[in-house]
Amino acid sequence: MARSRPGFYSTIEYIGPRPQKPKRPHFFGGWVILVIAVGIGFWFGRPLVPFLKATQQVVSTEQAEILISSLASSADPAQRLAAAALAHSGEKITYDPSYYKIAYPDGDIAPAKGASADVVIRCVRKLGIDLQKEIHEDMTGNFRHYPQLWNALGPDTNIDHRRVANLQRFFERKGQTLTASRNPEDYRPGDIIVWELANADKHIGIVVPGPGEHAGEPWVVHNMGAGVKWENLLFDFKIDAHFRYPSAAAAAPPQAQATGEEPSI
């Protein structure tokens, strides 16, 4: 009888998957990744918020006409400026901040083109004030007091008034500077607002009443790239400056000005 080899059947072979070591929980679990994704979406989606809000706010021509009628007949130039802004919001304007050679004074680029500064320029002109002329005359004698951002050697009647930084400096010098708060009660129709956007660019617009049931709220007329809009976004961006122009003193009748100083416009 044949002898079996010792130990040949002494070990039973395991057939199956290799045993795995238990995994430690990963710090970046699914919920952490979800939080990061939401944060990234919020950060890069913020610039779209005003535009998404605007698509939800339907403002009728009738609502604008009612406000324009009540504001345009006011003796207060700020009210009339708000009326001009509301009327301008109904015009079809293609956003265009480009440099153009224009006439002087009372010069303007093509009526169907413009940027945020052009909204203010055109609406203030409805009050009989030519910001092209006013800013050029002030810059001619005070060029060094204006922002030196464009390597210019002197005033340029074609573009100086169409730059928001120059408008802001002019209103600081010739208008009434008010608190840049986040309190809606501090703003009234006709106020001029300068915002600082996330990319550090400056933007400008005019405060107007809201439509219909929002008439007691401060809305704005501005052009941020999609044409001139009447929107509820006063506090959507950082308010860098808040002005009234013409200033209260300049707009008052001569007998109401207590001092002998010249008007500020």
Is 252 contained in some domain? yes
Residue 80 within any structural domain of the chain: yes
**Count of domains forming the chain:** 1
The pTM for the full model equals 0.75
Q: Are 129 and 106 in contact (CB under 8 A)?
A: no
Alpha helices in the chain (DSSP H): 30-45, 49-56, 61-72, 77-88, 116-125, 131-142, 164-174, 248-251
Task: Give the Cα separation of 209 and 216 in Å (integer).
Answer: 6
186 is in which domain, residue-wise? 61-256
d(CA 197, CA 215): 26
Provide the pLDDT for residue 63. 86
SS3 state of residue 239: strand
Is there a domain that residue 93 lies in? yes
Return d(Cα 86, Cα 152) in angstroms, integer: 34
Q: Has residue 54 been placed in a domain?
A: no
Asked, for residue 202, whether it belongs to a domain, the answer is: yes
> Is residue 51 included in any domain, yes or no?
no
Q: For residue 108, is it within any domain?
A: yes
Flag whether 18 is in a domain: no
- Can you give the pLDDT of all 265 residues of the chain as single tens digits? 555 555 544 555 556 566 666 656 555 556 656 656 656 655 555 555 554 444 444 567 888 999 999 999 999 999 999 999 999 999 999 999 999 999 999 999 999 999 999 999 999 999 999 999 999 999 999 999 999 999 999 999 999 999 999 999 999 999 999 999 999 999 999 999 999 999 999 999 999 999 999 999 999 999 999 999 999 999 999 999 999 999 866 655 545 444 444 433 3
